Amino acid sequence: MNWIDIGAIDDIELRGARIVKTPVGCVALFRTAEAEVFATGDTCPHNGGPLSEGIVHGRKVTCPLHNWVFSLETGEALGEDGQIPTFPAKVQDGRILIDGASLDRRSVA
Amino acid sequence: MTEKLVIIGAGMASGRVIEHLVKTDPDAFDITLFNAEPRGNYNRIMLSPVLSGDKTYEEIVTHSDEWYAENGVTCRFGEHVTAIDRARKVVIGQAGEVAYDKLVIATGSAPFIIPVPGKDLDGVITYRDLDDTNAMIEAAATGGEAVVIGGGLLGLEAAAGLRERGMEVTVLHLMDHLMERQLEGAAGYLLRQDLEKRGIRVMTRASTKAILGEDRAEAVLLEDGTVLGADLVVMAVGIRPETRLATDTALDVERGISVNAQMQTSDPDVFAVGECVEFDGILFGLVAPLYDQARILAETLLGREAAFVPKELSTKLKVTGCELFSAGDFAEAEGREDIVFRDPARGVYKRLVIEDDRLVGAVMYGDTTDGSWFFGLIRDGTEIEDMRDTLIFGPAYQGGGSADPLAAVAALPPEAEICGCNGVCKGTIVEAITGGAGDLGAVRAATKASASCGTCTGLVEQLLSVTLGDDYAAPTTQPVCGCTDLTHEDVRRLIKSKPLKSQEAVWQELGWSTRNGCHVCRPAINFYLLADWPLEYRDDPQSRFVNERKHANIQKDGTFSVVPRMWSGITNASELRAIADAADKYDVPTVKVTGGQRIDLLGVRGEDLPHIWADLNRAGLVSGHAYSKGLRTVKTCVGSDHCRFGTQDSTGLGIKLERALWGSWTPHKVKLAVSGCPRNCAEATCKDVGVICVDSGYQVSVAGAAGMDVKETERLADAPTEQEAIDLTMAFIQLYRENAKYLDRAYKWVAKVGLDWVRERIVDDPQERARLIERFELSQSVYRKDPWAEEVKKADVFTPLADLTLEAAE
């Protein structure tokens, strides 16, 4: 694990999302609760929709293009055949931390 | 051998013990029964009906003098027991001693008297027994004011009874809502309303400081200084077990007399039963467990094995007209889920609490018919997973395995009112259906049911389905989404009537099954809240589709399109220049003229949006809301300014309409058009609102469509002046905002409620029209702002939160 400080939790709206540019492509950071974040790939495997623009509900996000719903915990598409990558992320002292090691191109490959 | 059994206290528990004994083995005991009251056992639960005058004392007597005589019970009524001498095994009464082999203490409970000055004045009474009841009846005979301290079961029954007998009654309750041990806030609120309707004044969070009066009670003084006149003060704040005799004879006593599961005290020959006992840390105040205890005690006395096990309890309030039921545990806790059903029109509230697929609590108000069924599920710990979806509708819905959503409608009596607006009952509708009305429209025509507000449409459709069976292809009522069983119409109604003013209130009060909704319900709820409470509720961008959050239309490649407003299609060289400059600066690949008479810049990158908006803003251009459920465009022809056929200034009216209407959110997009003559070049007859100018004025028509459906508009009214045309349009939009289902275009909504219903409000009723316009303007005071200008201020959120590509490369 190599925790990288990405920003303050309040930089993301509650039930909102922001993206982070990484060596493995755009990663979406979702704020599902006051102090809860999840990091996943930003691209919907169905038609490439930007998941960070979707509606965040519970620990799920709905793709804005065709309403595929993904579990932010597992990356699994619910009721569809699809998967997005997930990355370890956490909130500590009001800061968002993401595991840099997981974002290394070699480890993802 | 016959043993000597002495029982102290002739209440409901000991009465039941004696019944069991004489029935099972009449010769086992020689029974002596003491009672401080000068009478035998009567049904104390029915004191409230006696107080209210619904019953007489004679009707609630359970054991008459003859009964005691027939069964050989020696009665010592009206005699206080002063002591128990366990060493000599005798009970000492005022009139002498009685020896016992076995002793049962059934002294019940005593009312709790709050220790305030004046508590001993005449006119201050408690509510426990027949003497109290008679004292209240006597006091009420002369009328006057009564104050009941305590808003629990007994207090409210006392209050209702006194009110029934003509007194002015105020109930004082220390807590936030009535009966807080049995009810939570919502049901407490309905109960309070019902009581107030009966003329009972309810004051919550009211703490009594003193009872004032010279010789007898005259007033009650509250902590906050309020003084309430009181000819009668009833203390009904609670009860405590009557344990004095047990304490005096050194039996183990906690809050109540300690007993084991055989109802045996610390002395093996002394037993206790009823409200005076404590078992396993629990006290008992309701009759069901007392009867259980009585049975166990009788078995034990007869030398049989039996053990008392406390069970879940249920409560009903015995006040005519206040249907209330509660059972089990309904506190909120981790891992618990709520199912809530409300029908504010009927004053019905039901809430079920579920934990681990089992029902653990139930609260019902207004309709308690299914109470005993729910109570059974709680008591038996029945697994309810399979019927969870329809559980709250009660047993009528739980037909063999799969749920039948029509059963509840089928079960309604013929006189049940279906259409509240027109007062049409089920029988009338069924008659119409069997008489040949085979669909919704025919039922409407025949009965007027669902022809007004339309909220009963679902019920009428279900009646069609129930009555016609397979012959009817039902367009079934759909819940909003998987998070709830409620329909859009239900939710809208509840948001207005509860009222609910935040998303959290909706999730909680309407029993959403998810933490914060889903992508289907959240945008709808967000709209309903902001439409009904423009000032109290703030729009939640996180509950909007990306287009409305980003104020631009997302394209299939993830880029956006940008459409500035062009008021009724009128533009000028400097605006066009600004648009051209923006297209250059941001490498806009496609520039297109839209069907709504304006220009679309397609293919703008997300992070460029705030910058292109800022540039366009500087040229005076604002968002065209081409992405929103709100006013899109007002299409116009050139009208009388240029056209030789034009009758009025259609372009001018179009601009006025667009300026008046832009900004506020609507259930779906709204498109307008104004044509300068009946040749209709602006295609006004397929819009949500279309205006055709004629020599005599303006023909305002509504509910057209030219999308998936094509439909001509219907004439709403003819307006002699431009202002009236604007007023009609504005009122129509507001009526649509307040009543339509989210994502129903105006034509779909009008088809549901009927054009007549719309006309009645907007055309026939000038006051209602004015009120609608006023409410629309209120909404506009919040929402007629250029969202682009607002978004430019927080441009940061359009950029990545961080860029790790450089760091990671190191």
Is residue B393 assigned to a domain?
Answer: yes
Residue B800 CB contacts under 8 Å (≥ 6 apart), including other chains: A18, A19, A20, A21, A26, B607
Give dist(CA B618, CA B599) in Å, integer.
17
Grouped pLDDT means (10 residues each) for chain B, 810 residues: 91 91 90 92 84 84 89 93 95 94 94 89 89 90 91 88 91 85 75 86 90 92 92 90 93 94 95 94 82 92 90 69 76 73 73 86 81 80 81 67 56 70 79 85 79 64 80 67 85 86 84 83 95 91 89 84 94 95 95 94 91 93 93 93 89 96 95 94 95 95 90 95 96 96 93 91 94 95 90 79 66
Q: What is the count of residue pairs from A and B with beta carbons less than 8 Å apart?
A: 95
Is residue B118 assigned to a domain?
Answer: yes
Give the end of a domain, one of B372, B404, B436: B404
Residue B770 host element (H or E): helix B766-783
Is residue B252 assigned to a domain?
Answer: yes
Which of A16, A67, A104 faces B519 most closely, judged by CB atoms?
A67
Give dist(CA B47, CA B153) in Å, integer.
12
CB contact under 8 Å between B807 and A4, yes or no, is yes
**Which of B551, B794, B804, B806 should be substituted to probe chain A, the one whose Cβ sees the most A Cβ atoms within 10 Å?**
B804
- Nearest Cα to Cα of residue B489 among B500, B478, B498: B478
> Residue A108 above 60 pLDDT?
no
CATH assignment of the domain containing B368:
3.30.390.30
CB contact under 8 Å between B546 and A15, yes or no, is no
Give dist(CA A38, CA A33) in Å, integer.
10
With H, G, I as helix, E, B as strand and everything else as coil, classify residue B487.
strand
Which residues in chain B touch residue A96, judged by CB atoms under 8 angstroms apart?
A: 801
Which residues in chain B touch residue A23, judged by CB atoms under 8 angstroms apart?
A: 804-805, 808-809
A-side interface with B, Cβ within 8 Å? Answer: 4, 6-7, 11-16, 18-23, 26, 29, 47-50, 53-58, 60, 62, 64-65, 67, 69, 96, 100, 103-104
Name the region of B391 (left: φ>0; alpha: ψ -120 to 50; beta: rest): alpha
Give dist(CA B731, CA B758) in Å, integer.
10
- Nearest Cα to Cα of residue B252 among B240, B262, B264, B236: B264
Q: Which residues of B251-279 are buried (b: 16+ CB within 10 A; e: fewer)?
A: bebeebbbbeebbbbebeebbbbbbbbbb
C-alpha torsion sign, points B740, B745, B748, B751: positive
Residue A59 C-alpha from the chain's centroid: 11
Residue B378 domain boundaries: 323-404
| DSSP state, residue B357 | T
Give the end of a domain, one of B594, B618, B642: B618
CB contact under 8 Å between B554 and A53, yes or no, is yes
Whether residue B96 is found in the same domain as residue B158: no
Burial class of B494 by CB neighbour count within 10 A (0 to 12, 13 to 18, 19+): buried
Q: What angle do CA B428, B434, B439 make, to 5 degrees?
A: 90
Which residues in chain B touch residue A60, judged by CB atoms under 8 angstroms apart?
A: 518
Give dist(CA B437, CA B537) in Å, integer.
43
Whether residue B328 is found in the same domain as residue B356: yes
Is residue B701 within 8 Å of B690, Cβ to Cβ?
yes
CATH assignment of the domain containing B288:
3.50.50.60
Give dist(CA B319, CA B299) in Å, integer.
36
Whether residue B684 is found in the same domain as residue B771: yes
User: CB distance from B514 to chain A under 8 Å?
Assistant: yes
Whether residue B247 is found in the same domain as residue B150: no
Whether residue B777 is found in the same domain as residue B657: yes
Closest residue in chain B to residue A54, using alpha carbons only: B546
Minimal CA separation from B477 to chain A, in Å: 22
CB contact under 8 Å between B558 and A49, yes or no, is yes
CATH assignment of the domain containing B689:
3.30.413.10
Omega before B499 cis (within 30°)? yes
Measure Cα distances from B636 to B317, B649, B692, B717 in Å: 65, 10, 10, 20
Is residue B47 assigned to a domain?
Answer: yes
Minimal CA separation from A83 to chain B, in Å: 19
**Which of A3, A5, A55, A102 should be substituted to probe chain B, the one whose Cβ sees the most B Cβ atoms within 10 Å?**
A55
Is residue B372 assigned to a domain?
Answer: yes
Closest residue in chain B to residue A66, using alpha carbons only: B556
With H, G, I as helix, E, B as strand and everything else as coil, classify residue B74.
strand
Give dist(CA B49, CA B122) in Å, integer.
25
Which residues in chain B touch residue A14, judged by CB atoms under 8 angstroms apart?
A: 542
Which residues in chain B touch residue A13, judged by CB atoms under 8 angstroms apart?
A: 541-542, 797
With H, G, I as helix, E, B as strand and everything else as coil, classify residue B569.
helix
Whether residue B138 is found in the same domain as residue B229: yes
In chain A the domains, ranked by start, together with CATH numbers, are 3-104 (2.102.10.10)
CB contact under 8 Å between B801 and A12, yes or no, is yes
Assigned token pair, B490? 């239900």
Looking at residue B572, what is its pLDDT?
Answer: 94
Assigned token pair, B338? 């709520």
With H, G, I as helix, E, B as strand and everything else as coil, classify residue B305.
coil
Percent of residues in chain A assigned helix, strand, coil, to nearest 5: 15, 50, 40
Give dist(CA B495, CA B484) in Å, integer.
14
User: CB distance from B538 to chain A under 8 Å?
Assistant: no
Residue B690 host element (H or E): strand B689-694
Closest residue in chain B to residue A61, using alpha carbons only: B519
Which of A23, A64, A65 faces B804 most closely, judged by CB atoms?
A23
Whether residue B99 is found in the same domain as residue B118: no
Minimal CA separation from A57 to chain B, in Å: 5
Is residue B686 assigned to a domain?
Answer: yes
Give the end of a domain, one of B204, B237, B270: B237
CB contact under 8 Å between A19 and B542, yes or no, is no
Within 10 angstroms of residue B769's Cβ, the number of other Cβ atoms is 21
Minimal CA separation from B184 to chain A, in Å: 26
Name the region of B335 (left: φ>0; alpha: ψ -120 to 50; beta: rest): left
Residue B779 CB contacts under 8 Å (≥ 6 apart), including other chains: B530, B531, B534, B664, B734, B737
Closest residue in chain B to residue A9, using alpha carbons only: B801
Which residues in chain A touch residue B801, judged by CB atoms under 8 angstroms apart?
A: 6-7, 11-12, 18-20, 29, 96
CB contact under 8 Å between B556 and A60, yes or no, is no
Residue B304 CB contacts under 8 Å (≥ 6 apart), including other chains: none
Looking at residue B473, what is its pLDDT?
Answer: 64
Q: What angle do CA B108, B113, B115 make, to 5 degrees?
A: 150
Whether residue B652 is found in the same domain as residue B680: yes
Closest residue in chain B to residue A48, using alpha carbons only: B557
Assigned token pair, B284? 């008992």
Whether residue B763 is found in the same domain as residue B639: yes
From the DSSP assignment, how many helices (H) and strands (E) are in chain B? 27, 40
CB contact under 8 Å between B514 and A58, yes or no, is yes
For the question of an ipTM over 0.90, the answer is: no
Strand partners, A70: A61, A77
With H, G, I as helix, E, B as strand and everything else as coil, classify residue B105.
strand
Residue A105 CB contacts under 8 Å (≥ 6 apart), including other chains: A23, A24
CB contact under 8 Å between B546 and A54, yes or no, is yes
C-alpha torsion sign, points B614, B615, B620, B626: negative
Number of domains in chain B: 5
Which residues in chain B touch residue A100, judged by CB atoms under 8 angstroms apart?
A: 804, 807-808
Which of B514, B542, B545 faces A56 most closely, judged by CB atoms?
B542
Minimal CA separation from A63 to chain B, in Å: 9
Which of A26, A58, A64 faces B515 most closely, judged by CB atoms?
A58
Is residue B732 assigned to a domain?
Answer: yes
CB contact under 8 Å between B801 and A7, yes or no, is yes
Give dist(CA B277, CA B284) in Å, integer.
7
Residue B317 C-alpha from the chain's centroid: 19
Q: What angle do CA B624, B630, B634 make, to 5 degrees?
A: 60
What are the pLDDT digits (tens) for A45-96?
988 889 999 999 989 999 988 888 999 999 999 888 889 999 999 999 889 9
In a 13 Å sphere around the CA of B72, the CA atoms on its Cβ side amount to 13
Minimal CA separation from A90 to chain B, in Å: 15
CB contact under 8 Å between A29 and B801, yes or no, is yes
Whether residue B102 is found in the same domain as residue B248: yes
Query: Which residue is it, tokens 């509910």?
Result: B703
Is residue B479 assigned to a domain?
Answer: no
Whether residue B176 is found in the same domain as residue B275: no
Whether residue B122 is found in the same domain as residue B223: yes
Closest residue in chain B to residue A105, using alpha carbons only: B808
N residues, chain A:
109
Is residue B234 within 8 Å of B136, Cβ to Cβ?
yes
Minimal CA separation from A27 to chain B, in Å: 9
